[in-house]
Amino acid sequence: MFRFFENLVDPFAPFPERTPPGRLWPFLWSHLRGYRKLLIVMACTGLVVAFMETGLIFYSGRIFDLMTDAGPDAFWSLHGLEVLVATLFILFLRPILHTLNMALLNQTLAGNLQAEARWRAHKHLLGQSVSFFQNDFAGRLANRVMQIGPAVEDASFMAMEGIWYATAYVLGALMILSGIDWRLALPLAVWVVLYIGFVRRVAPRVGEASERLSRGRSAVTGRVVDAYTNMDTVKLFAHGAREEAYALSAMKRLRLRFLRFMRLMTTMSLGLQLLNGLLIVGVVGPGIWLWHAGTVTVGDVAAASALTLRLNGMTGWIMWVTIRLFEHAGVIRESLDSLKQPHGVVDAPGAPELAVPRGEIRFDAVSHHYGKARGGLDRVSLTIAPGEKIGLVGRSGAGKSTLVNLLMRFHDVEGGRIEIDGQAIDGVTQDSLRRRIGMVTQDSSLLHRSVRENILYGRPGASMEEVIAAAKRAEAHGFITTLRDRQGRSGYDVQVGERGVKLSGGQRQRIALARVILKDAPVLVLDEATSALDSEVEAAIQDTLYRVMQGKTVIAIAHRLSTIAQMDRIVVMDGGHIAEQGSHAELLARGGLYAGFWARQSGGFIGLDPAEGVDAAE
């Protein structure tokens, strides 16, 4: 039975992928749109259950009157059949109706909506550009994805199970009291108006406080995760106390916001008790007076009192539900700060996949300054022939990494055009572009998964034999076979830790190389690919890399000039322009920038003038 209700909706079904609405109600409706028909059924079952509960209270008053009128001797003979029918209804039909209502709410709505909201939020963020993630805390983004699921689900659930049910219950109570005597319904109607006014005054303030509280939680999470992620740096510079103070300041702000939130809760509780006292006195008092006047029966007074006491118990729950709705609204609005951001880099409508039959790369007057007046590239033109291997050199901030990041389309160019085999890269799909380019960076972070899974990231469908072959070519198989972890896993099954922290820099780099070797893309980009390796391993890797380069178009960035001296062409960049280009021998004979780098390098690195800082855009 449970599976039937759970499978009425597929939370992971394909959906129109567009930027989520930036406002609360349109955002909620974007998730509830697929539940339209089911929401109508839930509303109907909720209405039936609410009316059934108020009807039972009314019927209990009727039973009281029947017992009083008939007396013990004649009660069962006169009303036994009616009591039997009521008993069967309470024992069998009432549980069925309740269960149907709760199954729709719990299994269908709550069981799917939370997963759907998280999945869609995560999928949208995965489509963001690299710069989007560089400009925010990973912990804060993760917190917003995780908290928006329960907020959307709980808000929708409470609206149906709480607000709608309570509304139907109050309407049922008004109808019953009106049927007994309109003077009993009048105090309840007045109370409803006062209650709604109180909620409208308090709830928005709670929503605002909740949004501030949610922002405070995200800030604390971001700072804590930032410290954990960079624990090596924290320990290296002995800044444990500094990180404590950094997190403590955010935690203190969070505490103050929480205390303000709790003040509103206490204020709300006081107002609620005053209103509840007014409800009890306002209904039960006139009921006794009307009984004394002979207008209503004792059973009527009992039913009115029971309804009032039931409402008195429900008001705290109704207020809590309402407050939670506004609290969730604050959480959702805070999360939408990230989710409502449109994708910075998008595929053109109907973009085809990139085809790379030859591997020619052409940069045509490419400019990119990261939205600033300086840095990056300025009208760079460069053509790389199919199968040509070029080395990019230059001081830090010269624009080397910017050039390859634009080729990978981590950012869109601000001016000019980049083509591969005559196809503009912004006219093809991003996935097809990146599938056809293998890239190894100087900071090769690994996924917190096994060694095997990290290498298979290059080509998920590869066999284990191909994984091992790629690892051997990257000089990684030897150390992989010696790995062990605390869970007893060994070799390729060992978990490498977050960003690969359980491995040395050289080991991470070799696994990253194995991943690209397995990928076997027609274009190869090496951004300081051997910078973390010692000289002996680097020498072995260089031979492997030269073999891997065969038949591919290659762009290699290096400060260690010996690693690119054998390239077909070396391009020297300076200040966002191409300053020189030619073979190693030609550039040495020219006596320009490259020759100066070669002459000044120590241990194979470009000598950098300390006055020349690293451009933030690099």
Radius of gyration of the chain (CA): 35
- Residue 298: what pLDDT? 80
Asked whether residue 617 carries a pLDDT value surpassing 70, the answer given is no
- Residue 20's φ and ψ, nearest 5 degrees, are -60, 145
Q: What are the residue ranges spanned by the domains of the chain?
A: 22-339, 356-436+522-536+547-618, 440-520
Q: Which pair of tokens denotes residue 535?
A: 């000289």
Query: 401: pLDDT confidence band, cut at 50, 70 and 90?
Result: confident
- Residue 555: what pLDDT? 93
Report CA 386 to chain centroid distance, whole Å.
Answer: 41
pLDDT in tens, 85-105: 888 988 888 899 989 988 888
- Residue 373: what pLDDT? 66
* Architecture of domain 440-520 in this structure: 3-Layer(aba) Sandwich (3.40)
Q: Which pair of tokens denotes residue 203?
A: 């709830």
Taking residues 189-206, what's their average pLDDT?
Answer: 82
pLDDT in tens, 17-28: 788 888 888 888
Q: Are 377 and 453 in contact (CB under 8 A)?
A: no
Average pLDDT, the chain: 83
Taking residues 135-159, what's their average pLDDT?
Answer: 82
Q: Please tell me the CATH code under which domain 356-436+522-536+547-618 is placed.
A: 3.40.50.300
Asked whether residue 169 carries a pLDDT value surpassing 90, the answer given is no
Query: 536: pLDDT confidence band, cut at 50, 70 and 90?
Result: low
- In the chain, the percentage of residues whose pLDDT exceeds 70 is 94
Taking residues 551-571, what's their average pLDDT?
Answer: 87
* pTM to 2 decimal places: 0.70
* Region of poorest pLDDT, from 278-282, 362-366, 402-406, 579-583: 278-282
- Residue 427: what pLDDT? 93
How far is 370 from 194, CA to CA, in rounded Å? 56
Residue 380 pairs with which residues in a beta bridge?
366
CA distance to 72, 298, 387, per residue, from 75 (Å): 6, 17, 101
The angle formed by the CA atoms of residues 214, 219 and 221, to the nearest 5 degrees, is 95
Is 356-436+522-536+547-618's fold the same as 440-520's? yes
Q: Which amino acid is at 335?
A: S
Asked whether residue 67 carries a pLDDT value surpassing 90, the answer given is no
Query: 540: pLDDT confidence band, cut at 50, 70 and 90?
Result: low
Asked whether residue 434 carries a pLDDT value surpassing 80, the answer given is yes
Asked whether residue 162 carries a pLDDT value surpassing 90, the answer given is no
Q: Identify which has the larger pLDDT, 570 or 137.
A: 570
- Residue 471: what pLDDT? 92
Asked whether residue 240 carries a pLDDT value surpassing 70, the answer given is yes
How far is 603 from 113, CA to CA, in rounded Å? 59
How far is 504 from 525, CA to CA, in rounded Å? 22
Q: Please tell me the CATH code under which domain 22-339 is placed.
A: 1.20.1560.10
- Residue 164: what pLDDT? 82
- Residue 616: what pLDDT? 33
